Amino acid sequence: MDPFRRRSLPSLSSSSIAIAIAENLTSLIIRVGKNRSNNISQLKQIHAQILINGCINSSTTLLTNFLISHYRSHGGGPHFPLLFLQSLPKPAEPLLWNSIVRFSIDSDNWSDFSCFYNAMRLNHFAPNTTTICSILKKCVSIAALQFGESFHCHMIKLATLFDIVAQTALLDFYSKLGNITFARRLFDEMPERDIVVNNAMLSALGKNGFIGDAQNLFDNMMPQKNSCSWNVMISCYCKSGRIEYARSIFDRCHLRDVVSWNAMIDGYCKLGWLTNAQELFDRMGTSKNFVTWNTMIAGFVQARQFNRAIQMFREMQSERVKPTEVTMVSLLSACAHLGALDMGDWLYAYIKRKNLRVDVVLGNALIDMYCKLGSVETALDVFHGLRVRNIFCWNSMIAGLGMNGFGKQAVTLFGSMGSQGVKPDGVTFVGLLSGCGHSGLVSTGKNFFSQMDDVYGLKPAIEHYGCMVDLFGRAGLLDEALDLVKNMPVKPNAIVLGSLLRACQVHKNTEIGEQVTRRLLELNPSDGGNYVFLSNLYASLNRWEDVNVCRKSMAEKGVQKTPGCSSVELNNTVHEFVAGDFSHPQFLQINAFIDVMEKELKVNGYEADTGLVLHDIENEEKETAIKYHSERIAVAFGLMSSPAGKTIRVVKNLRTCNDCHSAMKIISRIYEREVIVRDRHRFHHFKNGSCSCNDYW
């Protein structure tokens, strides 16, 4: 049926007929607007009906819908809507202009907004309060301070600043963009202030660090306070780290609501006071909302209590609280640190099943997790599936490829980044240079390092020099690494010297290694890893007296060696193993399997590398010490507890040793399993007797 065919209407006045037609056309525009493909011709027909039936002056709603639909159909082009507005038989209503201006700014097209707004001014119409608030809110979201200041001047000229709502929006604009002086002046000059204005000023003072002034204003608001006033003050003190003051206000608050509880819990979590946060969390009972759960989960992740975060999520599910995108971001981070791929896969499936919005934040969390779990192909699928990718997504993917040994692919992706108009930053080059270092792309890395300033206008920072020292060191170019350290424009830090130290260790340059270690100990005398390296260095030279001196120095300074810790996931449960720790409930079975595994290794040509065992003991005892390294225990547990063919994924807190690296290659061939180990510096994908690093690590 033709929607535009004239229909017989009951006997009505001409104005009533126009109104009825306008209502029908409005409904039709809404239906047409839902189908944005090929609706131009229909809109032209509607335009004709508007003119024929005299609807120009009968319905602002009709005209607004028509203009917005035409605007969408032309890809946001402002030309037709402006022409239509200016060709109306009498000046268009202010409401019509304000509607189209607000729509243009909400559609994130700044140039179109400027066009509509300037046209409105030329036609001598002023923005109403709703439009003023929308414009100032947009200025805040894109940090358009200069335009906002110009708009403020225009508001003064048009005498539109007498509205308390507009004044509050302007105060909020200045405070959120850091101009607290102007915000204070506006507040002081307001002829009247309501509770909303006072709360806005409270928030402005608190966010800009004027806690004392905020407290004075709060005290002088008596009795005009609401729950928002109390919550602002609690948040102010929490964000400034003055948690005792926040708790005092929280305890005194007689208008406490869920926001108050959440703010207080968040304050404790930010400081790592999880016991206090848990106490409040438990006291809330059934009044918790999804923000409360998200805050606790994020707090456990921040405190690196990743298993506790996942346990909290399971409790959240049992309470039938619906997780949000924020929940997923925290949980994906926990999975990445634990090496819990099965759990991560389940979360990704949940995200898709529940149609959660995968924006750049959640997308980046997925990319980061899959890269850190060695599942690069899935990370790439997520990356390419994102409709919008920001610099963080590109950086995560480039760093992930490099960390997993795919340096050439990282370089290729970097090229795509440039072709899509995304400008790299310093973090991009850290991932890129690190990837070149892990893959032996020396000339490529040198080329990118030189381009940082010459092509991209980025001054290399200390971490970039560290990457280059690492790149030269891994390639055995110790002289170039030393020259770079000596000629750096900044004093080398622990990162740079650590890269040089690893190179000395790999290429067995004990003389330079000893010098570098002593400089590292001067920089950070509490780092147990440096003492361990120096001890290992002396042990490799049979300098046992120096080993004893080093160990004595550690004891005197209270420095503890960080124990090797490895984790492996099985049936959504993460099992952790510490070197020399036999407390696991299945350790008797694990130990028996380790003995069998060691025999198989020796049959297949394995010889223990005991050169770096610290103590002056017999070789047989050294071999026993090595076989109980944490990653060996974790792999043994994974092999004995999972079905044949399943990939074993291990996360270790320290750099894997040469002996374990050699053993893992043979294990992957004997048991026909892929073994993926993420150590402190990179990934090792062991498969069919070889490693993805090509022994270049």
Report percent pLDDT > 70 for the chain: 82
Ranges of each domain in the chain = 1-107, 126-191, 193-272, 461-561, 565-691
Tokens at 238, concatenated: 């929490």
Residue 640: closest CA among 561, 575, 553: 575
Rama region for 695: left / alpha / beta (φ>0; ψ in -120 to 50; rest): left
Residue 549 has pLDDT above 70, yes or no: yes
Cβ atoms of residues 637 and 586 within 8 Å:
yes
At 362, the amino acid letter reads L
Q: What pLDDT sits at residue 4? A: 46
Please, which pLDDT band fits residue 50 given cuts at 50, 70 and 90?
low
Which of the pair, 508 or 232, is modelled with greater confidence? 232
Stretch 631-654: mean pLDDT, rounded? 90
**Torsion angle of the four alpha carbons 434, 440, 442, 443, in this order, in degrees rounded to the nearest 10:** -110
Nearest in space to 3 (alpha carbons), one of 39, 38, 45, 41:
45
- Find the range with the poorest average confidence among 245-254, 290-299, 688-697: 688-697
What's the pLDDT tens digit per position in 274-295? Answer: 999 999 999 998 889 999 999 9
Q: Are 296 and 265 in contact (CB under 8 A)?
A: yes
Q: Are 160 and 132 in contact (CB under 8 A)?
A: yes
- Residues 201-211, mean pLDDT to the nearest whole number: 88
Per DSSP, the residues of 44-55 read HHHHHHHHHTT-
Give the pLDDT band of residue 51 (cuts 50, 70, 90): low
Any idea which fold 461-561 has? Answer: 1.25.40
Half-sphere exposure of 594 (CA within 13 A, CB side): 21
Please, which pLDDT band fits residue 415 given cuts at 50, 70 and 90? Answer: very high
With CA atoms as reference, report the closest residue to 517 among 503, 533, 505.
533
Query: Is the pLDDT at 201 greater than 80, yes or no?
Result: yes
Residue at token pair 């223990």: 608
